[in-house]
Amino acid sequence: MHDIVDKTYQIPYPSAGTEVLLSRLAYIQEQEKMDVIIPNFDAELYSFIKLENKLKTMGIHTFLPTMEQFEERHKVNLNDFGKKYGIHVPRSKTIYNVNEAQQLEKDYEWPLVVKGKYYDASLAYNFDQVKAAYNKISAKWGLPIIIQEFIHGTEYNVTGLGDGEGNTIAAVPMRKQYITDKGKAWGGISISDKQALELTERFMQSTRWRGGFELELMKDKSGDYYLLEINPRMPAWIYLAVGVGQNIPEALTRLAMGWPTPAYTHYDVGKMFIRYAWDMIVDLHEFEQISTTGEL
Amino acid sequence: MRVKNNIAVSDNGFIFNPGSGESFTVNPVGLEMLNLLRKGHPHNEVVTMIQEQYVAEAAQIERDLLDFIEMMRQYRLMQHDDE
């Protein structure tokens, strides 16, 4: 993808810690003189938020949620988050032992949603299925596991950008039209939904959210919205927001640079994104280069 | 009840509800009924206007129209008059 990407550097896995990441970024900065980094993987956000000030002294700007915002919106804290800001959230419990889920049978109805700390979710219709999902997800993503009440309804998502002062710089709601087996959007359409935008506005004002985000919402049969998850970064479908008139990556870059960034007030309704996968043909020497030097 | 005023209907019968993101298709008769309803014609007028163009009993058309309206209600394409 040399027509899109000028240069690629591998960076350490988040498990290596912030110091290793910092020294790698210092090396990259010597070569590239970057102005802005926009991290987009859930697991690496913590490290980048921690390093925000150090990166700034190196000349690298970021525009990330505060550590408090990042922690507060975490799946494991969603119940408290809902209470604090008066937003409907499905009831959930964080567990470190699969037997804890057995006690939930009294309070929750089947099915239950078994969720990983960062990623993955499975529906379970009985305790055996809870166990299987618990083992599978915890082996991959670690503990804790979140058991959540299942809300029947239609899933909607909102991506947007907050300036950290309580203002909404951008917000685009989307309905997933095609999903993968993991529930990820493979196609979607921009919609006009006042309720979803009001909920987003309330979220922005009350948390004074800083940076890009994605809200995962479920609208139940009676039309009430439940907030299922807050992802503290732009989603993979961000290009739909650009396509309907709200260039969130550009606005985020402007905010990171401290440039004036007017709020978007309009977007096109009824525009779709359809994702496609594509086979790249790569010479072995390029694979060799990225594998041995971590650069391409 | 009346047809939601924010839904988009194309000439070839494609319906898009911008509030929910759902889309539907209707056949030519359905499209005519829908357009007449959107223009505010009462049911009896819709039945008469359809009967002028198609060979069918008024009672049959009325039944089909009511079924069609009920289906649109279920798909949340209708709203109350005071909304």
Give me the mean pLDDT over the A116-127 stretch.
Answer: 86
Measured CA to CA, the distance from residue A233 to residue A258 in angstroms comes to 19
**ipTM of the shown complex:** 0.70
Question: Tokens 């082996």 appear where?
Answer: A139
pLDDT on residue B8:
93
* pLDDT greater than 80 at residue B31: yes
Sign of CA dihedral B34, B39, B45, B48: negative
CA distance A267 to chain B (A): 12
pLDDT on residue A102:
80
Of all residues in chain A, the one with the smallest CA distance to B6 is A192
Q: How many CB pairs under 8 A join A and B?
A: 24
pLDDT band, residue A29 (cuts 50/70/90): very high
Distances (CA, A) of A241 to A114, A160, A196, A238, B8: 30, 8, 15, 5, 21
- Cross-chain Cβ contact A191/B18 below 8 Å: yes
* pLDDT greater than 80 at residue A104: no
pLDDT band, residue A184 (cuts 50/70/90): confident
CATH of B2-77, one of 1.10.10, 1.10.30, 1.10.287, 1.10.150: 1.10.10
Substitution target in B7, B14, B22 with the highest count of A β-carbons within 10 Å is B22
Longest dimension (CA), chain A: 59
pLDDT on residue B72:
95
From the list A174, A188, A192, which residue is nearest B19 (CB)?
Answer: A192
CB < 8 Å to A177, chain B: 21
Domains and CATH numbers, chain A: 1-62 (no CATH), 91-149 (3.30.1490.20), 152-274 (3.30.470.20)
pLDDT on residue A141:
84
Give me the mean pLDDT over the A252-276 stretch.
Answer: 97
Q: Work out the angle at residue B58's Cα, subtended by the Cα atoms of residues B52 and B59, and round it to the nearest 5 degrees.
A: 165
pLDDT band, residue A143 (cuts 50/70/90): confident
pLDDT on residue A120:
84
Average pLDDT, chain A: 92
Substitution target in A189, A237, A268 with the highest count of B β-carbons within 10 Å is A189
CA distance A188 to chain B (A): 9
Say if residues A225 and A219 touch (Cβ distance below 8 Å). yes
pTM, two decimals, is 0.84
User: Which residues on neighbouring strands pair with residue A170, listed in sequence order?
Assistant: A161
Share of chain B above pLDDT 90, in %: 90
Enter the DSSP assignment of A261: -
Say if residues A37 and A56 touch (Cβ distance below 8 Å). no
Measured CA to CA, the distance from residue A211 to residue A21 in angstroms comes to 21
CA distance B79 to chain A (A): 14
- Cross-chain Cβ contact B20/A269 below 8 Å: no
Give me the mean pLDDT over the A163-187 stretch.
Answer: 91
From the list B8, B16, B19, which residue is nearest A193 (CB)?
Answer: B19
CA distance B6 to chain A (A): 10
Q: Tokens for A108?
A: 């929750």
Substitution target in A157, A175, A272 with the highest count of B β-carbons within 10 Å is A175
CB < 8 Å to B20, chain A: 154, 175, 191, 193
